[in-house]
Amino acid sequence: MFIYVDESGSFVPAAKSDSWCVVAGYVVPEVARKRVEQSLGLLKRGLGRGFQDEVKLKDLSEANLKRFLGELGKLESTLFISAIDLGHQDPKVVLAHQKKQVESVRANRPNMLYEEGRASIDDLSGRLERLSPQLYTQMVAQIDLLDQVYRMTTLYYVQRLPATLSSFKWRMDEKNSARPLFEQTLTHMAPALIQAKSLRDPGIFVEEFDYSHFEKHFRNAPGDIPAYLQKAAGHTIKSTVNLGAVMRDSKFVRSHDVPGVQVADLLASAWRRVLRGEFDDNDGIAHLLGRLTVQRQKPNPPIHLLLLGEERWAEGSTYRAALIARRSARPMLRKR
């Protein structure tokens, strides 16, 4: 499968609410990739653009967008969203969150048996510490998105297209080639943080489903599980997923070169506008976007609304859009 990732919003602190920033992960099985690209091509032709041209949400009318979302809704591709309202993020809380994350990385240093491992911890914690609050917030949202994709696609596609779990190809918009610190930190942090979360909240694997394609490439044998992970879990771990292998084929690319990333850009921008209630037919767009998402455990909506501080209830257009998306999301479990 191909996972195309792009974001919408600047991730800088904001003085007012509804200052949403969104990271989108658009998951396209190989069997659907050609049709996704054809749908994007039809959209461009309808706007009088060539296939090599990029189109942004501002170039589309609501009618154009609805037709495009309707076409995507017919495919086996799926959409995952992490969103954060910077109008509700105290900068002090963001800095405290970052400091705590740096400390948690450094806490693993004594577990490293070799100097190379200790040097890697020092390098990673240093990179994390040097991120600006803006890039740190974006990294948190992006890693949350990657975790969603890994957890949800394994359960969703094993019931529908199990062979697509033999390969994860992550293609992320590089945005700015002058941001190597962010990109390198994200690449190194993602597997470790997703693994740490999996110890607290393991992913769901169903014995009756066919994971043979996934296990061939991404399962660790019991003897390959590090002792410190067994200790951290507090119980015997019989098997684990090699998250480094899941994330290995990750590349930052120019959206101009990758149609799937262009689609992710449109979807991220559309969700950001929906959360702010800025479409004339906001409910209709929320419904069409919701049809691309996958049902999460009730009562959660199919999109993830993040906070780095205390939890608060969604309200207004955000609450309404999340509720509509929950009603229109694809069921996680396939009827047999």
Residues 118-139 have pLDDT tens digits of 888 888 889 889 999 999 999 9
Q: In this model, does residue 322 exceed pLDDT 70? A: yes
With cut-offs at 50, 70 and 90, classify the pLDDT of residue 331.
very high
The closest alpha carbon to 228, from 112, 142, 308, 125, belongs to 112
How far apart CA 32 and CA 36 sit, in angstroms, is: 6
Burial code (b: 16+ CB inside 10 Å, e: under 16) for 193-226 equals bbbeebeeeeeeeeeeeebebbeeebebeeeebe
Average per-residue pLDDT in the chain?
A: 90
Q: In this model, does residue 327 exceed pLDDT 60? A: yes
Indicate the angle between helix axes 62-72 and 259-275, nearest 10 degrees. Answer: 120
Residue with the larger pLDDT of the pair 136 and 180: 136
Tell me the three state secondary structure of residue 253: strand
Phi and psi torsions of 334, nearest 5°:
-85, 135
Count of CB atoms situated within 10 Å of the CB of 286: 25
Determine the pLDDT at residue 309: 79
With cut-offs at 50, 70 and 90, classify the pLDDT of residue 221.
low
Determine the pLDDT at residue 58: 97
Q: In this model, does residue 249 exceed pLDDT 80? A: yes
Tell me the three state secondary structure of residue 23: strand
Determine the pLDDT at residue 104: 86
- Which strand (E) or helix (H) includes residue 30? helix 30-46
Determine the pLDDT at residue 214: 95
pTM of the model: 0.92
58's CB contacts (< 8 A; 6+ apart) are none
